[in-house]
C-alpha cells in the first residue's frame, strides 16, 4: 500500500514538473513565415494553420517576417522558447541554398531546429513574354544565343531559387544573359509581362493564373515529371541542352532545437492527419503545390541532402552574396 502511495506521488510530481508536455497545446501556436503575405509560402501556411487550429483546438497565428530569403524568420524561430508554440515554415532557401550563398548566417539550419514534417513540393516554371512568340525552351535558347548579352531574366531576389534556376539555365546552355533581381516573385513576373525581362523561373502557383490568362507563355517546368496543372508543358530535362536539370521549392515545418519530443510528436501527428485530408489536399493543389508529409526523421534526412546538393551547385555556379 505504501509503495503504491509513493508511486502515485512520483507520478503527480512528474506531471507538475512538466505541465507543458501534459497539456500541449493549450495556447495559440505561432507559425513564422519568412516571406510577405500573399506569396506562395504564406498562402500554404495559412491553409495549414486553419486546419491545424481545428485539429489541435487552439488558435494558429501566421506571422510574416520577410527578408534575406527567410533568414530573418529562421533566426527569430531559432531563438524562440522551445515549447512548440513557435514554429517555422522552412524552404529550399532557408534550409538548402542560404548556407551555401552566405559565409555566415544568423541561424544554424541543422543544430538550430527540430524537424516536424514535410509539407509541400512546389515546381518552378520557365515563362516568357508572349509577344516574343517562344513555344519551347529551344526557341528561347536560340534567341538568347542570337542576341548574346541582350536578354534579361528577372528573379524574386539575389540568392532566391528563381535566381539560382536562371543561373543553372545559363550555365548548362552556355548563355550570356543578365540577371535582374526584384523584390519578390510578383514583381519579377510583372517585369516579363511588361517586356523589361524576357523570361523568369516563377513558382507554379504564382505563374499559373497569368499562364492561363495568356499573359505569360509557359515553356517548361523544372521538375523531373510534367506538372498535372500544365500537362502539355515539357520538363527542362526533355530539352537536349538541359539533361538532369531539376529544381523545385519546398515547404517544411520546423520547431526550435530543444523542443520536447512529445510536443514534436503531437505536432507531427496533427500535420500528417490534416495533410492527408481532402480539404488541405485540394487547397494545396489549387495553388500548384504537391502536398506531402513525413516523419521528423525523414525530414531531417531530406534537409541534410538538400544542404549537400545546393552547396555543390552554388559553388559550381560561383555565386556568393557576402
**DSSP class per residue in 152-209:** EEEESSTTSHHHHHHHHHHHHHT---EEEE-SSHHHHHHHHHTTSSSEEEEEHHHHHH
Question: Any idea what the CATH number is for the domain that residue 189 is in?
Answer: 3.40.190.10
**Domain membership flag for residue 190:** yes
List, for residues 259-283, the tens digit of each pLDDT value: 999 999 999 999 999 999 999 999 9
Determine, yes or no, domain membership for 322: no
pLDDT-derived band at 19 (thresholds 50, 70, 90) equals: very low
Share of the chain above pLDDT 90, in %: 82
Span 148-162, pLDDT tens digits: 999 999 998 899 999
- Alpha-carbon gap, residue 107 to 94, rounded angstroms: 9
**Residue 319 pLDDT class (50, 70, 90 cuts):** very high
Q: Tell me the per-residue pLDDT of 71-114, one tens digit each, with 9 for 90 and over.
A: 999 999 999 999 999 999 999 999 999 999 999 999 999 999 99
pLDDT of residue 288: 83
Residues 48 and 87 in one domain: yes
Residue ending a domain, choose from 219, 238, 257: 238
Same domain, 289 and 140: no
Q: Is residue 229 very low, low, confident or very high in pLDDT (cuts 50, 70, 90)?
A: confident
Helix (H) or strand (E) holding 42: helix 40-56
> 54 lies in a domain?
yes
Closest to 217 (Cα-Cα) out of 134, 103, 137, 100: 134
First to last CA, the chain: 68
Q: Please give the share of the chain, as a percent, with pLDDT higher than 70.
A: 93
Sequence-distant (6+) residues with CB within 8 A of 260 are 18, 20, 21, 82, 83, 84
- Cβ neighbors of 67 (< 8 A, separation 6 or more) are 34, 73
Domain that holds residue 129: 123-238
C-alpha cell at 216: 505569360
Q: Mean pLDDT throughout 41-45?
A: 92
Task: Quote the pLDDT of residue 219.
Answer: 98
- Check whether residue 192 and residue 102 sit in a common domain: no
Q: Which pTM was predicted?
A: 0.86
Number of domains composing the chain: 2
Q: What is the mean pLDDT of the chain?
A: 92
What CA–CA distance (Å, rounded) separates 99 from 167?
17
Q: What is the rounded CA–CA span in Å between residue 317 and residue 313?
A: 6
Give just the sign of the alpha carbon dihedral 232, 235, 238, 240: positive
Where a domain ends, among 238, 261, 287? 238
Residue 157 lies in a domain: yes
**198-221, pLDDT tens digit by residue?**
999 999 988 999 999 999 999 999
Q: What is the pLDDT of residue 189?
A: 95
**In the prediction, which pLDDT does 22 show?**
58
Three-state SS at 1:
coil
Is residue 10 included in any domain, yes or no? no
Amino acid at each position: 500500500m505504501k509503495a503504491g502511495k509513493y508511486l502515485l506521488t512520483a507520478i503527480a510530481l512528474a506531471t507538475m514538473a512538466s505541465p507543458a508536455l501534459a497539456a500541449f497545446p493549450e495556447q495559440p501556436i505561432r507559425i513564422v513565415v519568412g516571406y510577405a503575405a500573399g506569396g506562395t509560402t504564406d498562402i500554404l501556411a495559412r491553409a495549414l494553420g486553419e486546419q491545424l487550429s481545428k485539429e489541435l483546438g487552439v488558435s494558429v497565428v501566421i506571422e510574416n517576417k520577410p527578408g534575406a530569403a527567410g533568414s530573418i524568420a529562421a533566426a527569430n524561430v531559432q531563438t524562440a522558447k522551445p515549447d512548440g508554440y513557435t514554429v517555422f515554415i522552412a524552404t529550399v532557401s532557408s534550409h538548402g541554398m542560404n548556407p551555401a550563398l552566405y559565409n555566415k548566417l544568423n541561424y544554424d539550419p541543422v543544430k538550430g531546429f527540430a524537424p516536424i514534417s514535410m509539407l509541400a513540393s512546389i515546381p518552378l516554371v520557365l515563362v516568357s513574354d508572349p509577344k516574343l512568340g517562344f513555344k519551347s525552351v529551344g526557341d528561347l535558347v536560340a534567341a538568347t544565343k542570337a542576341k548574346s548579352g541582350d536578354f534579361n531574366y528577372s528573379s524574386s531576389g539575389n540568392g532566391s531559387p528563381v535566381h539560382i534556376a536562371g543561373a543553372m539555365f545559363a550555365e548548362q546552355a552556355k548563355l550570356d544573359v543578365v540577371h535582374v533581381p526584384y523584390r519578390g516573385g510578383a514583381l519579377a513576373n510583372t517585369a516579363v509581362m511588361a517586356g523589361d525581362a524576357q523570361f523568369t523561373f516563377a513558382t507554379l502557383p504564382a505563374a499559373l493564373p497569368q499562364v492561363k490568362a495568356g499573359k505569360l507563355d509557359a515553356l517548361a517546368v523544372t521538375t523531373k515529371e510534367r506538372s498535372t496543372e500544365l500537362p502539355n508543358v515539357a520538363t527542362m530535362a526533355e530539352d537536349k541542352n538541359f539533361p538532369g536539370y531539376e529544381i523545385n521549392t519546398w515547404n517544411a515545418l520546423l520547431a526550435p532545437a530543444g523542443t520536447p519530443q512529445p510536443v514534436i510528436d503531437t505536432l507531427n501527428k496533427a500535420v500528417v492527419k490534416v495533410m492527408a485530408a481532402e480539404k488541405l489536399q485540394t487547397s494545396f493543389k489549387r495553388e500548384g503545390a504537391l502536398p506531402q508529409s513525413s516523419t521528423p526523421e525523414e525530414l531531417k534526412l531530406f534537409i541534410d541532402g538538400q544542404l549537400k546538393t545546393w552547396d555543390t551547385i552554388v559553388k559550381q555556379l560561383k555565386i556568393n552574396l557576402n
